[in-house]
Amino acid sequence: MSNKEIILSIRDLYVNFYTYAGVVKAINGVNLDIYKGEVFGLVGETGCGKSVTSRAITRLIPPPGRIEKGEILYKRNSEYVDLLKLPEDEIRKIRGDEISYIFQDPTSSLDPLYTSGYQIAETMVVHDRAEWNEAWKKAVELLKETLIPDPESRVKNYPHEMSGGMRQRIVISIALSNDPKLLIADEPTTNVDVTVQAELMDLLRELQRKKGTTILLITHHMGLIAEMTDRVGVMYAGNLVEIAPVDEIFAEPLHPYTKGLLAAVPNPLQKIDKLVPIKGSVPNLIYPPSGCRFHPRCPFAMPICKEKRPPRIEIKPGHYVECWLYAEEVKKKGES
Protein backbone atom coordinates (compact mmCIF):
# COMPACT_ATOMS: atom_id res chain seq x y z
CA MET A 1 0.00 0.00 0.00
CA SER A 2 2.89 2.37 0.68
CA ASN A 3 3.38 3.21 -3.03
CA LYS A 4 -0.30 4.12 -3.32
CA GLU A 5 -1.45 7.68 -3.53
CA ILE A 6 -2.57 9.20 -0.25
CA ILE A 7 -5.88 11.00 -0.69
CA LEU A 8 -6.26 12.09 2.93
CA SER A 9 -3.76 12.40 5.73
CA ILE A 10 -4.90 13.11 9.27
CA ARG A 11 -1.98 14.32 11.35
CA ASP A 12 -1.80 14.74 15.11
CA LEU A 13 -5.50 15.49 15.46
CA TYR A 14 -6.86 16.56 18.85
CA VAL A 15 -10.55 17.29 19.50
CA ASN A 16 -12.05 18.36 22.84
CA PHE A 17 -15.64 18.92 23.96
CA TYR A 18 -16.17 21.68 26.51
CA THR A 19 -19.08 20.40 28.61
CA TYR A 20 -20.44 21.63 31.96
CA ALA A 21 -19.03 18.48 33.55
CA GLY A 22 -15.52 19.20 32.21
CA VAL A 23 -13.36 18.96 29.09
CA VAL A 24 -13.85 15.68 27.23
CA LYS A 25 -10.57 14.81 25.51
CA ALA A 26 -12.30 12.95 22.71
CA ILE A 27 -9.53 12.64 20.11
CA ASN A 28 -6.02 12.34 21.39
CA GLY A 29 -3.46 12.74 18.62
CA VAL A 30 -4.79 10.61 15.76
CA ASN A 31 -2.58 9.98 12.73
CA LEU A 32 -3.97 8.21 9.68
CA ASP A 33 -3.32 8.05 5.93
CA ILE A 34 -6.11 6.93 3.60
CA TYR A 35 -5.15 5.71 0.14
CA LYS A 36 -6.99 6.52 -3.06
CA GLY A 37 -9.49 3.83 -4.05
CA GLU A 38 -9.36 1.79 -0.85
CA VAL A 39 -12.06 0.97 1.67
CA PHE A 40 -10.66 1.86 5.07
CA GLY A 41 -12.59 0.66 8.13
CA LEU A 42 -12.50 2.46 11.45
CA VAL A 43 -13.66 0.21 14.26
CA GLY A 44 -14.05 0.45 18.03
CA GLU A 45 -16.57 0.61 20.86
CA THR A 46 -19.23 3.32 21.02
CA GLY A 47 -17.68 6.58 22.20
CA CYS A 48 -14.12 5.72 21.09
CA GLY A 49 -13.95 8.67 18.68
CA LYS A 50 -14.63 7.09 15.27
CA SER A 51 -17.44 9.45 14.31
CA VAL A 52 -15.74 12.51 15.79
CA THR A 53 -12.63 11.75 13.72
CA SER A 54 -14.70 11.38 10.55
CA ARG A 55 -16.66 14.59 11.19
CA ALA A 56 -13.48 16.52 11.92
CA ILE A 57 -12.37 15.82 8.33
CA THR A 58 -14.74 18.47 6.97
CA ARG A 59 -14.98 20.42 10.24
CA LEU A 60 -18.45 19.14 11.13
CA ILE A 61 -17.74 19.16 14.87
CA PRO A 62 -20.68 20.89 16.57
CA PRO A 63 -20.22 23.10 19.65
CA PRO A 64 -19.21 22.51 22.41
CA GLY A 65 -16.65 20.51 20.42
CA ARG A 66 -13.46 22.11 19.16
CA ILE A 67 -10.63 20.90 16.95
CA GLU A 68 -7.65 21.87 19.09
CA LYS A 69 -4.76 20.91 16.93
CA GLY A 70 -3.68 18.96 13.87
CA GLU A 71 -3.73 18.91 10.11
CA ILE A 72 -6.07 17.21 7.67
CA LEU A 73 -4.30 17.15 4.34
CA TYR A 74 -6.55 16.39 1.40
CA LYS A 75 -5.29 15.92 -2.16
CA ARG A 76 -7.12 18.43 -4.30
CA ASN A 77 -6.14 19.22 -7.89
CA SER A 78 -2.82 17.38 -7.39
CA GLU A 79 -1.89 19.48 -4.33
CA TYR A 80 -2.48 18.85 -0.65
CA VAL A 81 -4.62 21.41 1.16
CA ASP A 82 -5.15 21.51 4.91
CA LEU A 83 -8.93 21.23 5.37
CA LEU A 84 -8.62 22.72 8.84
CA LYS A 85 -7.21 25.93 7.40
CA LEU A 86 -9.45 26.41 4.35
CA PRO A 87 -11.89 29.37 4.47
CA GLU A 88 -15.47 28.35 5.32
CA ASP A 89 -16.78 28.93 1.76
CA GLU A 90 -14.08 26.62 0.36
CA ILE A 91 -14.78 23.81 2.82
CA ARG A 92 -18.50 24.11 1.95
CA LYS A 93 -17.62 23.49 -1.69
CA ILE A 94 -15.82 20.27 -0.74
CA ARG A 95 -18.43 19.02 1.77
CA GLY A 96 -21.20 17.11 -0.02
CA ASP A 97 -19.24 17.26 -3.24
CA GLU A 98 -15.67 15.89 -3.24
CA ILE A 99 -16.14 14.50 0.27
CA SER A 100 -19.61 13.25 1.15
CA TYR A 101 -21.21 11.46 4.08
CA ILE A 102 -23.73 8.74 4.72
CA PHE A 103 -24.90 9.03 8.31
CA GLN A 104 -26.50 6.23 10.29
CA ASP A 105 -29.99 7.64 10.62
CA PRO A 106 -31.62 8.28 7.22
CA THR A 107 -34.68 9.82 8.86
CA SER A 108 -32.74 12.69 10.38
CA SER A 109 -30.48 13.01 7.30
CA LEU A 110 -33.46 13.73 5.02
CA ASP A 111 -35.73 16.77 5.01
CA PRO A 112 -39.35 15.61 5.48
CA LEU A 113 -40.66 18.60 3.49
CA TYR A 114 -38.99 17.76 0.18
CA THR A 115 -39.26 14.81 -2.21
CA SER A 116 -36.37 12.39 -2.57
CA GLY A 117 -35.75 13.62 -6.13
CA TYR A 118 -35.56 17.24 -5.00
CA GLN A 119 -33.06 16.41 -2.28
CA ILE A 120 -30.81 14.43 -4.63
CA ALA A 121 -31.02 17.01 -7.43
CA GLU A 122 -30.44 19.92 -5.06
CA THR A 123 -27.04 18.50 -4.05
CA MET A 124 -25.94 18.66 -7.70
CA VAL A 125 -27.43 22.11 -8.33
CA VAL A 126 -25.93 23.68 -5.19
CA HIS A 127 -22.49 22.46 -6.21
CA ASP A 128 -22.95 23.67 -9.81
CA ARG A 129 -22.73 20.14 -11.15
CA ALA A 130 -25.98 20.37 -13.16
CA GLU A 131 -29.05 22.48 -13.93
CA TRP A 132 -32.35 21.37 -12.35
CA ASN A 133 -33.64 19.39 -15.38
CA GLU A 134 -30.45 17.46 -15.82
CA ALA A 135 -30.06 16.97 -12.06
CA TRP A 136 -33.59 15.53 -11.85
CA LYS A 137 -32.79 13.01 -14.62
CA LYS A 138 -29.59 12.05 -12.83
CA ALA A 139 -31.56 11.62 -9.60
CA VAL A 140 -33.68 8.97 -11.35
CA GLU A 141 -30.50 7.29 -12.63
CA LEU A 142 -29.05 7.25 -9.12
CA LEU A 143 -32.18 5.65 -7.72
CA LYS A 144 -31.85 3.00 -10.42
CA GLU A 145 -28.23 2.41 -9.44
CA THR A 146 -29.20 2.06 -5.81
CA LEU A 147 -31.77 -0.55 -6.90
CA ILE A 148 -34.89 1.31 -5.82
CA PRO A 149 -37.87 -0.25 -7.61
CA ASP A 150 -39.85 2.08 -9.87
CA PRO A 151 -37.40 5.01 -9.60
CA GLU A 152 -39.51 7.30 -11.85
CA SER A 153 -42.29 7.40 -9.28
CA ARG A 154 -40.11 7.03 -6.14
CA VAL A 155 -38.29 10.21 -7.10
CA LYS A 156 -41.54 12.07 -6.37
CA ASN A 157 -42.02 10.48 -2.93
CA TYR A 158 -41.42 12.16 0.41
CA PRO A 159 -39.22 10.39 2.99
CA HIS A 160 -42.22 9.35 5.14
CA GLU A 161 -43.62 7.43 2.17
CA MET A 162 -40.64 5.08 2.12
CA SER A 163 -39.24 2.28 4.28
CA GLY A 164 -36.02 2.72 6.34
CA GLY A 165 -33.98 0.75 3.79
CA MET A 166 -35.33 2.87 0.93
CA ARG A 167 -34.60 6.10 2.82
CA GLN A 168 -31.02 4.96 3.32
CA ARG A 169 -30.78 4.31 -0.45
CA ILE A 170 -31.90 7.91 -0.98
CA VAL A 171 -29.17 9.08 1.40
CA ILE A 172 -26.65 6.95 -0.53
CA SER A 173 -27.90 8.50 -3.80
CA ILE A 174 -27.41 12.00 -2.36
CA ALA A 175 -23.91 11.08 -1.17
CA LEU A 176 -22.99 9.70 -4.60
CA SER A 177 -24.68 12.40 -6.68
CA ASN A 178 -21.53 14.46 -7.22
CA ASP A 179 -19.20 11.48 -7.67
CA PRO A 180 -17.27 12.11 -4.44
CA LYS A 181 -13.60 11.27 -4.22
CA LEU A 182 -14.01 10.28 -0.59
CA LEU A 183 -17.21 8.79 0.79
CA ILE A 184 -17.50 8.64 4.57
CA ALA A 185 -20.08 6.05 5.65
CA ASP A 186 -20.73 6.36 9.38
CA GLU A 187 -22.54 3.24 10.64
CA PRO A 188 -24.59 3.29 7.41
CA THR A 189 -26.64 0.19 8.19
CA THR A 190 -27.27 0.47 11.92
CA ASN A 191 -30.94 1.38 11.57
CA VAL A 192 -31.96 -1.16 8.94
CA ASP A 193 -32.65 -4.89 9.28
CA VAL A 194 -30.06 -7.54 8.50
CA THR A 195 -31.19 -8.42 4.96
CA VAL A 196 -31.32 -4.76 3.93
CA GLN A 197 -27.94 -4.27 5.62
CA ALA A 198 -26.37 -6.94 3.39
CA GLU A 199 -27.98 -5.43 0.27
CA LEU A 200 -26.77 -1.92 1.11
CA MET A 201 -23.23 -3.08 1.76
CA ASP A 202 -23.17 -5.04 -1.53
CA LEU A 203 -24.40 -1.91 -3.23
CA LEU A 204 -21.69 0.28 -1.72
CA ARG A 205 -18.99 -2.26 -2.60
CA GLU A 206 -20.28 -2.51 -6.18
CA LEU A 207 -20.43 1.27 -6.62
CA GLN A 208 -16.95 1.58 -5.12
CA ARG A 209 -15.62 -1.01 -7.60
CA LYS A 210 -17.30 0.71 -10.55
CA LYS A 211 -16.31 4.27 -9.70
CA GLY A 212 -13.13 3.72 -7.70
CA THR A 213 -14.42 5.90 -4.85
CA THR A 214 -12.36 5.89 -1.68
CA ILE A 215 -14.51 4.87 1.30
CA LEU A 216 -13.98 5.48 4.99
CA LEU A 217 -16.34 3.05 6.72
CA ILE A 218 -17.08 3.67 10.38
CA THR A 219 -18.58 0.73 12.22
CA HIS A 220 -18.44 -1.34 15.39
CA HIS A 221 -19.44 -4.40 13.37
CA MET A 222 -16.46 -6.71 12.80
CA GLY A 223 -18.42 -8.69 10.18
CA LEU A 224 -18.77 -5.61 8.00
CA ILE A 225 -15.11 -4.85 8.47
CA ALA A 226 -14.15 -8.35 7.30
CA GLU A 227 -16.45 -8.20 4.32
CA MET A 228 -15.97 -4.66 3.10
CA THR A 229 -12.57 -3.22 3.92
CA ASP A 230 -9.02 -3.36 2.63
CA ARG A 231 -7.38 -1.91 5.75
CA VAL A 232 -8.57 -1.32 9.29
CA GLY A 233 -7.87 1.15 12.07
CA VAL A 234 -8.82 0.21 15.64
CA MET A 235 -9.74 3.09 17.93
CA TYR A 236 -9.81 3.07 21.71
CA ALA A 237 -10.69 6.06 23.89
CA GLY A 238 -9.69 8.64 21.29
CA ASN A 239 -6.49 6.88 20.19
CA LEU A 240 -5.87 4.93 17.00
CA VAL A 241 -4.13 1.94 18.56
CA GLU A 242 -3.63 -0.37 15.59
CA ILE A 243 -3.70 -0.11 11.79
CA ALA A 244 -3.31 -3.13 9.51
CA PRO A 245 -4.49 -4.81 6.32
CA VAL A 246 -7.85 -6.44 7.07
CA ASP A 247 -6.59 -10.05 6.80
CA GLU A 248 -3.84 -9.36 9.31
CA ILE A 249 -6.17 -7.77 11.84
CA PHE A 250 -8.18 -10.99 11.96
CA ALA A 251 -5.29 -13.44 11.60
CA GLU A 252 -2.71 -11.70 13.74
CA PRO A 253 -4.10 -8.89 15.91
CA LEU A 254 -1.35 -7.28 17.97
CA HIS A 255 -2.82 -4.72 20.33
CA PRO A 256 -4.37 -6.23 23.49
CA TYR A 257 -7.52 -4.18 22.83
CA THR A 258 -7.87 -5.51 19.25
CA LYS A 259 -7.39 -9.05 20.59
CA GLY A 260 -10.08 -8.40 23.20
CA LEU A 261 -12.44 -6.95 20.61
CA LEU A 262 -12.08 -10.03 18.39
CA ALA A 263 -12.49 -12.43 21.32
CA ALA A 264 -15.74 -10.66 22.22
CA VAL A 265 -17.47 -11.30 18.88
CA PRO A 266 -18.54 -14.66 17.39
CA ASN A 267 -16.26 -16.10 14.71
CA PRO A 268 -17.99 -18.59 12.40
CA LEU A 269 -14.62 -20.19 11.56
CA GLN A 270 -13.75 -21.01 15.16
CA LYS A 271 -15.51 -23.31 17.60
CA ILE A 272 -15.59 -21.56 20.96
CA ASP A 273 -17.48 -22.32 24.15
CA LYS A 274 -18.18 -18.75 25.13
CA LEU A 275 -17.34 -15.22 24.13
CA VAL A 276 -14.89 -13.34 26.34
CA PRO A 277 -15.83 -9.73 27.13
CA ILE A 278 -13.15 -7.09 27.69
CA LYS A 279 -12.98 -6.47 31.45
CA GLY A 280 -13.83 -3.04 32.82
CA SER A 281 -15.53 -0.23 30.98
CA VAL A 282 -14.68 2.56 28.58
CA PRO A 283 -12.97 5.38 30.53
CA ASN A 284 -14.49 8.78 31.22
CA LEU A 285 -12.58 10.99 28.80
CA ILE A 286 -12.90 14.01 31.10
CA TYR A 287 -10.36 12.13 33.24
CA PRO A 288 -8.64 9.79 30.74
CA PRO A 289 -6.17 7.26 32.15
CA SER A 290 -2.54 8.41 32.07
CA GLY A 291 -0.03 6.87 29.64
CA CYS A 292 -1.72 4.18 27.57
CA ARG A 293 -5.46 4.86 27.89
CA PHE A 294 -6.14 1.10 27.82
CA HIS A 295 -3.95 0.31 30.85
CA PRO A 296 -6.74 -0.03 33.48
CA ARG A 297 -8.31 -2.83 31.37
CA CYS A 298 -5.20 -4.41 29.91
CA PRO A 299 -4.09 -7.85 31.20
CA PHE A 300 -0.50 -7.12 30.10
CA ALA A 301 -0.11 -3.64 31.62
CA MET A 302 3.41 -2.81 32.85
CA PRO A 303 4.57 0.11 35.04
CA ILE A 304 5.60 2.14 31.97
CA CYS A 305 2.07 1.83 30.53
CA LYS A 306 0.71 4.10 33.29
CA GLU A 307 3.46 6.65 32.86
CA LYS A 308 3.97 7.20 29.14
CA ARG A 309 1.90 6.94 26.02
CA PRO A 310 3.32 4.18 23.80
CA PRO A 311 4.83 5.24 20.46
CA ARG A 312 3.48 3.95 17.14
CA ILE A 313 5.60 1.11 15.79
CA GLU A 314 5.50 -0.53 12.37
CA ILE A 315 5.78 -4.24 13.12
CA LYS A 316 5.38 -5.39 9.50
CA PRO A 317 4.98 -3.27 6.38
CA GLY A 318 1.67 -1.45 6.85
CA HIS A 319 0.92 -3.01 10.28
CA TYR A 320 1.22 -0.40 13.03
CA VAL A 321 0.56 -0.72 16.74
CA GLU A 322 0.71 1.65 19.71
CA CYS A 323 1.68 -0.58 22.62
CA TRP A 324 4.63 -0.81 25.00
CA LEU A 325 4.81 -4.62 24.62
CA TYR A 326 6.13 -4.16 21.09
CA ALA A 327 8.09 -0.98 21.76
CA GLU A 328 10.08 -2.83 24.44
CA GLU A 329 10.63 -5.77 22.07
CA VAL A 330 11.92 -3.50 19.33
CA LYS A 331 14.19 -1.75 21.85
CA LYS A 332 15.66 -5.07 23.04
CA LYS A 333 16.30 -6.20 19.45
CA GLY A 334 18.05 -2.91 18.76
CA GLU A 335 20.28 -3.35 21.82
CA SER A 336 21.25 -6.99 21.05
Q: State the residues that interact with ligand SF4 by CB under 6 A.
A: 255-256, 292, 294-295, 298, 300-302, 305, 310, 323-325
| CB-CB neighbours of 267 under 10 Å | 14
Q: Which C-beta is closer to ligand SF4: that of 282 or that of 302?
A: 302
Q: Which C-beta is closer to ligand SF4: that of 263 or that of 325?
A: 325
Render 289-321 in DSSP notation, one character per residue.
PSSSTTGGG-TT--HHHHHSPPPEEEEETTEEE
| CB-CB neighbours of 278 under 10 Å | 19
Q: How far is the CB of 41 from ligand SF4 (least distance, A)?
A: 20
Q: Which C-beta is closer to ligand SF4: that of 223 or that of 288?
A: 288
Q: Which C-beta is closer to ligand SF4: that of 102 or that of 254?
A: 254
Residue 1 CA: distances (Å) to CA of 33, 230, 231, 318, 322: 11, 10, 10, 7, 20
Residue 275 CA: distances (Å) to CA of 232, 260, 263, 271: 22, 10, 6, 11
Q: How far is the CB of 332 from ligand SF4 (least distance, A)?
A: 15
Render 162-231 in DSSP notation, one character per residue.
S-HHHHHHHHHHHHHTT--SEEEEESTTTTS-HHHHHHHHHHHHHHHHHH--EEEEEES-HHHHHHH-SE
Whole-number Å distance between alpha carbons of 40 and 55: 15
Q: Which C-beta is closer to ligand SF4: that of 145 or that of 322?
A: 322
Q: How far is the CB of 303 from ligand SF4 (least distance, A)?
A: 10
Q: What is the largest CA-CA distance in the chain?
A: 72
Q: How far is the CB of 74 from ligand SF4 (least distance, A)?
A: 31
Q: Which C-beta is closer to ligand SF4: that of 125 or that of 325?
A: 325
Own/partner pairs, 135-141, CB within 8 angstroms, 24+ separation = 135/177, 138/177, 139/173, 139/177
Q: How far is the CB of 294 from ligand SF4 (least distance, A)?
A: 5
Q: How far is the CB of 265 from ligand SF4 (least distance, A)?
A: 19
CA atoms within 13 A on the CB side of 285: 21
Q: Which C-beta is closer to ligand SF4: that of 24 or that of 323?
A: 323
Q: Which C-beta is closer to ligand SF4: that of 176 or that of 323?
A: 323
Q: How far is the CB of 302 from ligand SF4 (least distance, A)?
A: 6
The answer, yes or no, to whether the previous bond of 64 is cis (omega within 30 of 0) is yes
Q: How far is the CB of 320 from ligand SF4 (least distance, A)?
A: 13
